[in-house]
Amino acid sequence: MAVVKTLEHFGCSVDFPQAQTCCGQPQFNNGYPQEARPLAERMIRVFKNSAYIVTPSGSCAAMIRDHYPELFKDDPAKHQEALDFAARCYEFVEFLTRVLKVDVSKLTLPDPQRFTYHYTCHLRGLGTTGEPCISLLKQLKGASFIPLEKAEQCCGFGGTFAVKYPDISGAIVRDKVQCGQKTGADVMIVNDGGCAMNIGGACHRQHGDFAVKHIAEVLASAIDAGESR
């Protein structure tokens, strides 16, 4: 909802096709590419007429951009469709900053907040750093940014990695929460569903003091505050 509100605020016409499903990453990452293909085919078909495909999750964008063409390398027609689809797919912050080139400096948060930022691993696959998101945060009135120690260190989730190696995963995410605590921030920005679930859950179990939010939620709250004035 926050993604839609933000995109519409910056002039986009947003459609949410009800026929969309998972992108197929769980199957692909667990060694079942053939099982991922039908889901990829469905996604390509469902979004055929979309000018852009925007996802709030870096891992979904990385799956589509890195691996969809690979799934159909033995079928020239479908391979080209996958390339075309991948070229129109963007992670949310990437779309705001590279395509829309938004200026959020006129937005004001309803209350002053201190933010820190966790860099999700899948952004590496997109060739994206954390700087675009941090830049958006710094532009917002009422926001202050505090760097996170080991910001680019994995949170320990890694999909089924957390299930296969729970002790290692748990140790990594506990370290991430401790780093978050040291910042004194009110909110840790985490722009991926898996990372957000993992860090948020660990923070709750460790009685952490910070909330975990997606940058879209923060931008939407500032938009709401402006509309209510």
Mean pLDDT of the chain, nearest integer: 95
Instruction: Give the model confidence (pLDDT) of 4-31 as tens digits.
Output: 999 999 999 999 999 999 999 999 989 9
Write out the residue limits of the CATH 3.40.50 domain(s) in the chain. Answer: 106-228
Q: Return the pLDDT at 209.
A: 95
Identity (one letter) of the amino acid at 124?
R
Q: What length does the chain have?
A: 229
How many other β-carbons are positioned within 10 Å of the β-carbon of residue 125? 15
Instruction: Give the model confidence (pLDDT) of 48-79 as tens digits.
Output: 999 999 999 989 999 999 999 999 999 999 99
DSSP-H helix ranges across 15-140: 25-29, 33-46, 58-62, 68-71, 76-87, 92-94, 131-139
Indicate the SS3 state at residue 111.
Answer: strand
Q: How far apart are CA 149 and CA 134, in angstroms?
A: 14
pLDDT surpassing 70 at residue 229: no
pLDDT surpassing 80 at residue 168: yes
CATH number given to 106-228: 3.40.50
Q: How far apart are CA 189 and CA 207, in angstroms?
A: 18
Instruction: Give the model confidence (pLDDT) of 170-222 as tens digits.
Output: 999 999 999 999 999 999 999 999 999 999 999 999 999 999 999 999 999 99
Q: 11-25: b or e for each residue (b if 16 or more CB lie within 10 Å)?
A: ebeeeeeeeeeebbb
